[in-house]
């Protein structure tokens, strides 16, 4: 939701160099870019003094094996990007949009309100305005969780027992996600977002 509804593949390793400093692997992740299609079209549109010239184009494709298996969303289109020229770096690989921009905005807004004025309000202690999240609890207080994110980091904390017994009550209240998982999430995110 934070990137506007684009399907990206998480990755951990950006680059691997050999002992001589030469790259043996460089990650080429899919890029979430809300206005890339418009910028690419603007960059390749003929200028008023030019006559239109056909230019080769290649479709932006998802990473091998990165297909979500979901059917295409209404309004999805194949984005054409200019073919790379000799010696020039290839254009970025654009991630497919799998959630419409309106729905992505609405869900992100709702999840921001959970932190600003809802059950996740304790996260405001971090002093940030870019956080979104959702508390959760199951029947009989057997599970308590909090999942939250910003544009760069997603973290979920779960609290419960392996034997599926109830977390019960503490300090006069049932053990909800806001009481069990959210404080752990806040402590972790305070460190993780510091640098």
* pLDDT more than 70, % of the chain: 73
Across the chain, what does the average pLDDT equal? Answer: 79
Domain ranges of the chain: 121-192
Least confident of 69-78, 109-118, 160-169, 179-188: 69-78
Tell me the residue ranges of DSSP E strands in 18-153. 23-26, 57-59, 80-82, 132-137, 143-149
The Cα 151–Cα 126 span in angstroms is 16
Q: What letter would DSSP give residue 108?
A: H
* pLDDT more than 90, % of the chain: 37
47 pLDDT tier (thresholds 50, 70, 90): low
Bridge partners, residue 134, by sequence: 147
pLDDT at 189 over 90: yes
pLDDT at 19 over 50: yes
132: three-class secondary structure by DSSP: strand
Q: Note whether 6 and 104 are within 8 A (CB).
A: no
How much is the average pLDDT of 187-191? 96
How much is the average pLDDT of 182-188? 95
List pLDDT tens digits, range 141-163: 888 999 999 988 999 999 888 88
List pLDDT tens digits, range 58-100: 444 444 444 444 444 444 444 444 455 566 777 888 899 999 9
pLDDT at site 49 = 56
Burial of 62 (0-12, 13-18, 19+ CB in 10 A): middle
How much is the average pLDDT of 122-148? 92
pLDDT at 46 over 70: no
pLDDT at 41 over 80: no
C-alpha triplet 175, 179, 185: angle, nearest 5°: 130
Does the global pTM surpass 0.95? no
pLDDT at site 161 = 87
């Amino acid at each position: 939701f934070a990137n506007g509804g684009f399907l990206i593949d998480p990755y951990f390793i950006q680059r691997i160099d050999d002992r001589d400093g030469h790259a043996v692997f460089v990650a080429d992740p899919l890029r979430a870019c809300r206005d890339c299609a418009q910028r690419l079209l603007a960059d390749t549109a003929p200028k008023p003094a030019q006559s239109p010239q056909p230019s080769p184009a290649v479709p932006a494709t998802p990473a091998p094996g990165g297909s979500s298996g979901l059917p295409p969303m209404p309004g999805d289109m194949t984005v054409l990007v200019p073919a790379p020229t000799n010696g020039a770096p290839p254009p970025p690989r654009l991630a497919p949009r799998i959630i419409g921009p309106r729905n992505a905005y609405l869900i992100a807004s709702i999840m921001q309100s959970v932190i600003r004025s809802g059950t996740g309000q304790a996260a405001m202690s971090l002093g940030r305005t870019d956080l979104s999240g959702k508390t959760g609890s199951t029947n009989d207080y057997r599970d308590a969780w909090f999942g939250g994110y910003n544009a760069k980091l997603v973290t979920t904390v779960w609290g419960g027992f392996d034997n599926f017994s109830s977390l019960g009550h503490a300090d006069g209240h049932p053990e909800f996600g806001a009481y069990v998982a959210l404080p752990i999430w806040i402590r972790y995110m305070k460190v993780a977002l510091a640098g």
